[in-house]
Structure 1
Amino acid sequence: MEALQLFAVHQVFAFMLVLARAGTAVILLPGFGERIIPPQVRLVLALAISFVILPLAPVSDIPVPDNAGAFFAALGTEFVIGAFMGAATRILFAALHIGGQIIGQSMGLSALVPDNATGFDGSTATTNLLVMTGLVFIFAADLHVLMIGAMISSYGLFPPAEAFDVAGLSEDVAHVMSRAFMLGVQFASPFLVLAFLFNLGLGLTNRLMQALPVFFVGMPFLLAGGYVVLLATTGAILLAFAHAMSAWLNSFAV
Structure 2
Amino acid sequence: MNLGFLPPELVALLGAGFWHAAIVFLRVSAMVAVLPAMGELYVPTRVKLAVAAAFTFVVAPALPAFPEPDGVMEYARFAVTEAIIGLALGIGVRIFVLTLQTAGTMAAQSTSLSQVLGGIGAEPMPALGAVLMISGVALAAMMGLHVRVAELMIRSYQMFPAGQFPAAAGLTEWGVFRVSQSFSLAFTLAAPFVVTAVIYNLTLGVINRAMPQLMVAMVGAPVITFFGLFILMVGSPMILDVWMRSLMTFFADPGGGMP
TM-score, normalised via structure 1 length: 0.92
Match 1:204 to one of 203, 206, 213: 206
Deviations 1:83-111 (A, max 9, x none): 11001111122110000001111111121
CA distance in 1, matches of 2:15, 2:219: 73
**Do the aligned residues in 1 keep the contact of 2:95 with 2:179 (CA within 8 Å)?**
yes
1:19 corresponds to 2:21? no
CA distance in 2, matches of 1:34, 1:152: 23
What amino acid sits opposite 1:76 in the alignment? V
CA distance in 2, matches of 1:156, 1:108: 47
**Do the aligned residues in 2 keep the contact of 1:31 with 1:144 (CA within 8 Å)?**
no
CA distance in 1, matches of 2:134, 2:217: 31
Instruction: Give the CA deviation at 1:139.
Output: 1.1
Instruction: Give the CA deviation at 1:3.
Output: 4.9
Q: Which runs of 5+ in 2 are unaligned?
A: none
CA distance in 1, matches of 2:180, 2:148: 22
Q: 1:16-165, aligned counterparts within 5 Å?
A: 16-58=22-64, 60=65, 62-111=66-115, 113-116=118-121, 119-121=122-124, 123-165=125-167
CA distance in 2, matches of 1:7, 1:140: 38
**Do the aligned residues in 1 keep the contact of 2:97 with 2:137 (CA within 8 Å)?**
no
Q: 1:236-247, aligned counterparts within 5 Å?
A: 236-247=238-249
Instruction: Give the CA deviation at 1:220.
Output: 0.8
Deviations 1:69-88 (A, max 9, x none): 11110221111111110011
Deviations 1:43-90 (A, max 9, x none): 1111111111111122x1x32222221111022111111111001111
Instruction: Give the CA deviation at 1:31.
Output: 1.6
Instruction: Give the CA deviation at 1:163.
Output: 3.6
What amino acid sits opposite 2:195 in the alignment? V
**Partner-residue secondary structure (3-state), 1:28:** coil
CA distance in 2, matches of 1:168, 1:24: 20
**Partner-residue secondary structure (3-state), 2:229:** helix
What amino acid sits opposite 1:233 in the alignment? G
**Do the aligned residues in 1 keep the contact of 2:58 with 2:150 (CA within 8 Å)?**
no
**Do the aligned residues in 1 keep the contact of 2:20 with 2:67 (CA within 8 Å)?**
no
C-alpha RMSD over aligned residues? 1.6
What amino acid sits opposite 2:225 in the alignment? L
What amino acid sits opposite 2:177 in the alignment? H
**Do the aligned residues in 2 keep the contact of 1:65 with 1:71 (CA within 8 Å)?**
yes
TM-score, normalised via structure 2 length: 0.90
**Do the aligned residues in 1 keep the contact of 2:104 with 2:130 (CA within 8 Å)?**
yes
CA distance in 2, matches of 1:165, 1:42: 29
Instruction: Give the CA deviation at 1:8.
Output: 3.2
**Partner-residue secondary structure (3-state), 2:33:** helix
Q: Which runs of 5+ in 1 are unaligned?
A: none
Identity of aligned residues (%): 29
What amino acid sits opposite 1:77 in the alignment? T
CA distance in 1, matches of 2:198, 2:136: 27
